[in-house]
Structure 1
Amino acid sequence: MLPGLLPTPPSGGAQTPARMRQAAQAFEAQVMAQLLQPAFAAADASRSPFGGGSAEAQWKPMLVEAFSAAAARSGRGLGLQDMVLRHMLRVQEASTTPQENRP
């Protein structure tokens, strides 16, 4: 999980669009980290400029999360956050619209 990216829900129950965007961004970063993890695991750390070792192996998952979070924040990620945000807004709108006003 990416700490600090997941918003806490406001007290009214409904999420604001800004908080929803943060949640969508955090989701995209998490998905991207899951996709990048095998690529970094397959890299031969002994041939890196730092020589590998146990310390480098311990920090590698955090490096993957940092890359993923930066890519999601920059908008150069997978393109999921806009789709997720649209869906979240639709679901929230449907849950707050009274039943008799729904099409």
Structure 2
Amino acid sequence: MDIAPITLPAPSRHDQLMAKAEELEATFLAEMLAHSGLGEMQGAFGGGQGEAQFSSFLRQEQAKLIVQQGGMGLAELIFNAMMEAENGTD
């Protein structure tokens, strides 16, 4: 008895571009969170060097969650610009 491997359909170009646009929005949001100082602990409750080393991972995940919940609309604008550029309509 042969078992066929499970194959998933390749994502469409639309899905690929939207994923990249959302990734870019998440990266932008992570940088904005870093510059805002959100989540930085001061004094005796600070995590020291360990916290400083890994805080970027936390901010990136927080930014991804923000984008999944609708973000700030930047991904849609980026997606539309990429679609226009790909279709050659300026």
TM-score, L = length of structure 1: 0.64
Higher relative contact order (CA 8 A, sep 6+): 2
TM-score in terms of structure 2 length: 0.73
Residue 63 of structure 2 is aligned to residue 63 of structure 1: no
Identify the residue that residue 27 of structure 2 maps to in structure 1.
Answer: 30
Partner SS for 1:61? helix
Q: Is the 8 A contact 1:46 1:53 kept in 2?
A: no
Query: Number of residues paired by the alignment?
Result: 79
Q: What pairs with 1:4-83 in structure 2 (closer than 5 Å)? A: 16-40=13-37, 43-46=40-43, 48=45, 51-75=46-70, 77-83=71-77
Structure 1 unaligned blocks of 5 or more: 1-9, 96-103
Gaps in structure 2 of 5+ consecutive residues = 1-9
Identity %: 22
Pairwise CA RMSD: 2.4
Cross-structure match for 2:3:
none
Equivalents in 1 of 2:73, 2:35: separation in Å? 20
